[in-house]
Structures are given as structure tokens and as C-alpha cells.
Structure 1
Amino acid sequence: MNKISALLITFNEINHIEDVIKNIGFADEIIVIDSFSTDGTYETLASLKNVKTIQREFKNFADQRNFALQQANNDWVLFIDADERITNKLKFEILETINQPKNAVAFMVKRLFFFKKKRIRFSGFQTDTTYRLFKKDKVKYIEDKIVHEMPLIEGESSLLKNNMLHYCFDSAAHYKSKMEHYANLKALELFNKGKRPNFYHFYLRPGIKFITNYIFRLGLLDGKEGFDICYLSAYGVYYRYQKLKKLID
């Protein structure tokens, strides 16, 4: 039987940490890289005997994930965020996948989004997939892609059949704070690439983002939550280019 390492990177995830650790209890080892949480996350992790926790300063998502990969002792790695959950069907599919001959060395998972515990079926999230299962020596995250990080895969990849649950945002304020955090990192990424914002980025691009998600990707069918999500996603685009302007100035 092949063994699997479950990896997490965390910062202030006290509302999720115990549930996610219990959820991935089927892994042969659990390793958490914590960015000096201040809400009790680290203390909770330190009390769990089946978890190895390392505190490390956060530089960016790609850097933190690559460090986590280096800590894994098993050939197969399952990356999971604190607000994600593995269903029973997905768990058995993962265990079957790593113990049967496969051409693929990396696997994507489709995520089902929840906002304020309500299932979000549209609003731009309906096609979301993300890499979560890898052979450790066949993947490295692209260093200059510091937000919405992308793995560089050495070999074939595939999509798992079963879905992951993503309890991504507890409130509009929580979503806004995440959008601002991602926007700060994305602005730095664009700054490093020499990008300069203009009228289109400040005014047209956020509007296009809102219309695309709310109208064409049917966010209006998600009710008030759909409007909040689409509005704040557009706000995140505007905020990104404001931060980029400040970096240039």
C-alpha cells in the first residue's frame, strides 16, 4: 500500500483547523506549515499528536507550498486548505488512485463552494478545479506566480471524479478581506513583471468582471449571496490595481 502525506499551510484558521485535521485523518502523516497564527491555531495544532507543525514566515503561497512539499516523507501528497473538506467518496477515490497503476502523476479536484454555509452554484465558481493530489517528486509550484499559485507538473495530469467541499467564506467581510489579501499579492506579482495600470484596469476591468460573473456566469441565480460575491470579486480587481499604482508611485 502506498502512503500519503497530507499538507496544509495555515494562518489564523481556528474556526476550521480541528475539523480539517479530523477530515484528513486517513493520511499516513499530516504536516502543517503555520505562518505564526495569533488566534490559537498553532496552539491547537501543537496539542495534536498526529500532526507535525512547523512555524515559518509567510512570503507567498508558492514559496510556502514548495517548502511544505519538501517536508513530506511519502511519495504521494495531498494538499488541502483549512476550509476544504474531503467527502467519503473522494477519500476512497484518492486511496484507490494512489494504489493502482496510473499514467497521471497529478490530479485535479472540482470544488463545490459554500458561502455563509449556502451552496454557491454559479457566480463564476461552477467550473472551479484545483490541483490537490500529486506525486511529490513530479511537482513544484511556479515561484513567480505568488497568488493563485500554479504547480509545474512533470508528467500527465487528470481529474478525479468526486468533488471536494469548500467552505470558503463565512461572511461578506471575510470575503472582502481575502480579496484584499490576494490583491496585495497579485499587485506585487504584476509590479515584479513591470506592469503599469491605466484607465481600463481601474474602471472597465472591474465592471467587466462583475457583469461576466453576475450576468453571463449566472451569479444572479445565487441570490443575495451571488450579488455579494460578484461585487466583491470586482472590487478585488479594482483594489489590485490601486495597490499596484501605490507600488509604482
Structure 2
Amino acid sequence: MKEDSIKISTLLITYNEINHIDEVIENITFSDEIIVVDSFSTDGTYEKLKSYNNVTTIQRAFKNFADQRNFAINQATNDWILFIDADERLTNSLKKEIFNEISSDSKKVAYMFKRLYFFKKKRIRFSGFQTDTTYRLFKKGHVKYDENKIVHEMPIIDGKSKILKSNMLHYCFNNAAHYKSKMEHYANLKALELSKKGKKPNIFHFYFRPFYKFFINYVVRLGFLDGKEGFYICYLSAYGVYYRYKALDKLIS
């Protein structure tokens, strides 16, 4: 366990996560502080969060992921910040490794987690996700998200970082329709990011880029070995690329 003097603030940003919220809150009860920034959920998520005595819930309009995460960071009061999404879970081995790391004399100020992906309850071993890592643990005052990257947000780390050995579980696909809606949401944000950079789509973006995305994930990165779920994931990832440039075309026309 971590030393009593070292405290963790666990942060979430949510929108319509009623299917995950009970399990994720239960998963992080070890935290000294739990703060959730909710983007005015309409499915009962906010009401469920308010029923927890150990959770501070703030409603705030969603601008983009980087902006929302930076706001959440500013609410934290403890030495260490742990970010978790509603569809993610920490394994017991990862929790132990977190405590061991932050209780040591290490000079690291940020840690990356390896994620294992699931389609419903089926493990997705390929399809482009076999090497996924993400920053989730930071020392207070050493991180800020780059607000020029409004989707697939990237933290700016002031100091050294490390990849932990244990895995985080990511239940990010409820079904194909759910994943499609996520791809469209991310694509709209990415289109806005590209428009601010003055980018313009062309026939290459509409046809070659989606095909290349599918080919890489389904063939080169062995998505076909994930069965029908692998096909859905690789196809919808390619669809997300196509949708991105269609959205960009609408923004600039």
C-alpha cells in the first residue's frame, strides 16, 4: 500500500456512462479523492454520481477532451493524479504497482498504462490495439494537456515518465453501433482541429486514407484473427477516417 502521506486524486470525465459508472466507481474506491466532470449527461449518469458520498461531481459543458481534462486536473487537491475513463478498469496488480511506484523515491512524474481491449466481454488481441499505451498517472504540477490536440489528446509532461508492467482493461466496445457513434464523435472533433490548421480534404483523404486504415489494421496488424469483431472494429475505424474528412469538407464549405 502507499504511504499515508501520499494521496491520489482520481479524475473522470463523463457523458452518458450509466452502463459503466457503478463498476468504475467501485474500481477506484482506494482513491483519497474522486472527482467527476460530467458533460450534462441525459441517461441518469449525473443522478447516479450524486448518490455517492465519496464522489465530487461537477457539471460542465464539453468543449473538447483536452479542455475538459485540464479543467479536471485543476480541481484535484492531492499529490498524484490518476485519470480513468468510465469504460476502463484497473487490475489488482496494476493498483499494487501504482502504489509501489508513487511510494518509492523514483524521479518519475508520469506513468503510462498498457491497455487490453474488449468487445463486450471478448478480448481483442489485434486490430491495431496490441501495442496501445496511454498516460494515466501524473504528479501534480507536472502535466497539462495540449489544447491544440482536441481529440486523442496528448499530455505535456514536465519530467521523466515510465511504462508500468501491469495492464488496464478497456471495455470500449458495447456493440458496433456504439463504436460507430464514438468514431463519429471523434471524427467531428478531429475535423475541427484540422480546420483550425487550414487543412482541406481531397480525393486522397476520402478514398485512400480509409482504405489504408482498414488494410493496416485488418491485414498487417492481424485484425482478421479477432473474428467478426475484428472486422467490425477495423471497418469502423476506417469509416471514422472517411467521416472525419466529410466533416472537414462541411466545415470549410
Whether 1:199 aligns to 2:203 is: yes
Instruction: Tell me how far 1:116 sits from its aligned partner.
Output: 2.1
Amino acid at match of 1:232: L
CA distance in 2, matches of 1:155, 1:122: 32
1:137 aligns with 2:141: yes
Q: How far has the Cα of 1:104 moved from its partner?
A: 1.2
Q: Which runs of 5+ in 1 are unaligned?
A: none
Return the match for 2:186 from 182, 197, 206: 182
Q: What amino acid maps onto 2:31 in structure 1?
A: A
- The C-alpha deviation readout for 1:68-124, integer Å capped at 9, x for no partner, is 000000010000000000000001111111111112100000000001211000000
> What's the counterpart of residue 215 of structure 1?
219
What amino acid is the match of 1:196? K
1:60 aligned onto 2:56: no
From 32, 39, 63, the equivalent of 2:36 is 32
* Post-superposition CA distance 1:55-74 (Å, at most 9, x none): 00000000000000000000
Give the aligned residue type for 1:160.
Answer: L
Q: TM-score, normalised by structure 2?
A: 0.98
Corresponding residue for 1:229?
A: 233
Consecutive aligned runs of 4 or more in structure 1 exceeding 3 Å deviation: none
Distance 1:239 1:187 in 2: 9
Structure 1 partner of 2:101? 97
Task: Give the distance between the partners of 2:147 and 2:140, measured in 1 at CA.
Answer: 17
Partner deviation per Cα, 1:28-56 (whole Å, 9 max, x = no partner): 01000000000000000001000000000
Structure 1 residue matching 2:141: 3-state secondary structure: helix
Letter in 2 for 1:33: V
* Distance (whole Å) between structure 2 residues aligned to residue 31 and residue 107 of structure 1: 20
Partner of 2:244: 240
- Percent identity of paired positions between Structure 1 and Structure 2: 74
Query: Which of the residues 61, 86, 91 maps onto 1:87?
Result: 91
When the two structures are aligned, how many residues end up with a matched partner? 249
- Note the aligned Cα RMSD (angstroms): 0.5
1:143-164 Cα distance to aligned partner (Å, 9 max, x none): 1100000000001111011000
Structure 2: state its 5+ residue gaps: none
Per-residue CA shift, 1:179-228, capped at 9, x if unaligned? 00000000000000100111110000000000000000000000000000
- 1:158 match: 162
| 2:224 aligned partner, one-letter code | L
